[in-house]
A and B are shown apart, each in its own frame.
Chain A
């Protein structure tokens, strides 16, 4: 398998910079939803788990299937729970009603 290491490192570096710049701008008001949202996004690892559990393996098929399946369960619960609670929290944030029309 060919691994394009340098490209991956570039991608990581750029994403980290974007992450710092974007997240620095998130108001401290929303730091809890920020953490639950990034947590849900991070569960994109489910993609790796799906391929692991579903692909054909000449040896170690049982191991791949069991570990992959548990991994999907763990990641999916983060996706569902993470998005749900983030949205629930954000719905609570309301601006004060304008005083005078």
Chain B
């Protein structure tokens, strides 16, 4: 069978231990209590695997490797230090880096091995390079949109889907030709270049609201391309890490699509927010009730149960620390305060939880949609801060609404609803929200941060 030298056995064993540590790492992430241990396990596994690899007898030159490791660390540290609001674009950027690594290694492997590349090997190599390239440019585009250096609005044109699918189709045809004739090296640049273009074209029609799904999907592609690289290099460790990452991205994308009531194909092939501007314009002049910070504070202080529903608008206004002060002030008065978090609140899965945890709000008060929805009928006040579409009851009741069927937070079932909002302008999806016209709804017009600040002063000021 295989003829391992002593050193190679040691290397294989470090890979085996690293694999076990990676799986444990994800297992420990299941609860906040053990999660940091999970990170440590992951780091240890990574360190072992890299150390093992450096012992590889085939390595003849270390100069470049060491330089690259140092340079990578220098780039990596600031990427680990970004603000919590910038985590989505950082994540997109790191998907791009991962995909870049995979694509470059795949490309080099092809030119080193050609012309005698076995059929199967050429197949997975093509998969690796195609997925890697499209994830690279796709993730860069996503990061650009999230960082707002690129326009967030979807850009659409007639026949877009046909062009995109056509591009992907051509890449697959070229890949099949390479599988049949791996010696035709002149074809190889096409299976890098076309997917690079496809990655850009794929993200152009996608709007900001769909970013959580897109990031998850790109996460999944990055994982799968790494697994394909594992097949090419015959590395079990890489196959497993890639499969774990792919599975994780896949689960998150399914979650996100469900939360937005969309299918994958709908996210990728349908630009949202186009047709319904007309419908929204119709209902401008309906009356709403508004309230001052003093009135809002009095109602909140008299409540027993309050559920705060934060949306990305809260983070944009940098209001999370004021919200924490409100939480403290109300809790001190004996009010039971919880947070209802919609899966797509924020710009990536789980983003809102991180933003609130950063403001020192205890994580056991952060409840996801399914956990909190049963509580609303017993809730005195639902306070909506910077969220819109995820509280829109039309999703339950109005079959003609573009968000009909989307799971929402049932804030309209609370006894009183308060909504902090700058103006009556429609939300991300451009859809009017009937919640605002209910008799039990009070609109609190103003900037989220200063409005919450005023409420806190009122609540905190009222000593007895």
A residues with a Cβ closer than 8 A to B are 1, 3-5, 8, 11-12, 15-16, 18-20, 22-57, 59-60, 63-65, 67-97
Contact = CB atoms under 8 A, between A and B. Distances in A.
Given A26-B26, A54-B61, A92 B358 contact: yes
Contacts of A83: 39, 42-43, 46, 80
A35 B349 contact: yes
Q: Is the interface of A mostly helix, strand, loop or mixed?
A: helix
A34 to B, nearest CB: 6
Interface string B81-113: 110100100110011011011101101110110
Contacts of B100: 70-71, 74
Contacts of A35: 91, 215-216, 219, 248-249, 252, 348-350
Given A23-B251, A28-B343, A42 B31 contact: no
Contacts of A59: 112
B459 interface: no
Given A16-B247, A30-B29, A45-B238, A80 B105 contact: no
B425 interface: no
Interface residues of B, number: 113
Contact of A77 (B62, B76, B358, B363): B76
Interface string B27-44: 101111101101100110
B98 A75 contact: yes
A90 B105 contact: no
B234 A37 contact: no
Q: Is the interface of B mostly helix, strand, loop or mixed?
A: helix
B75 interface: yes
Contacts of B249: 35, 38
B267 interface: no
Contacts of B105: 45, 48-49, 52, 67-68, 71
A30 B72 contact: no
Nearest to A79: B46
Task: Give the one of B31, B68, B357 with max A CB within 10 A.
Answer: B68
Task: Give the one of B75, B80, B348 with max A CB within 10 A.
Answer: B80
B356 to A, nearest CB: 9
A95 B35 CA distance: 13
A47 B215 contact: no
Contact of B72 (A12, A28, A72, A95): A72
B26 A22 contact: yes
B241 interface: yes
A49 B64 CA distance: 11
Given A15-B239, A54-B59, 7 more contacts: A8-B231, A30-B29, A31-B255, A35-B91, A81-B90, A84-B76, A88-B80
Interface in B230-264: 230-231, 233-249, 251-252, 255
B60 interface: yes
Interface stretch (B50-58, B305-313, B404-412): B50-58
A82 B248 CA distance: 15
A27 B43 CA distance: 21
Contacts of B272: none
Interface stretch (B148-156, B220-228, B283-291, B427-435): B220-228
Contacts of B61: 54
A28 B68 contact: no
Contacts of A73: 68, 71-72, 75
Interface stretch (B17-25, B163-171, B203-211): B17-25
Given A18-B244, A30-B32, A23 B26 contact: yes
Nearest to B80: A84
Nearest to A5: B120
A28 B367 CA distance: 9
A72 B68 contact: yes
A80 B80 contact: yes
Given A19-B247, A27-B31, A33-B29, A68 B91 contact: no
Nearest to B367: A29
B94 A81 contact: yes
Contacts of B353: 28-32, 93
Contacts of A40: 42, 46
Contacts of A52: 105, 108-109
8 contacts: A8-B234, A8-B239, A34-B252, A41-B42, A44-B22, A69-B65, A83-B39, A88-B81
A15 B243 contact: yes
B77 interface: yes
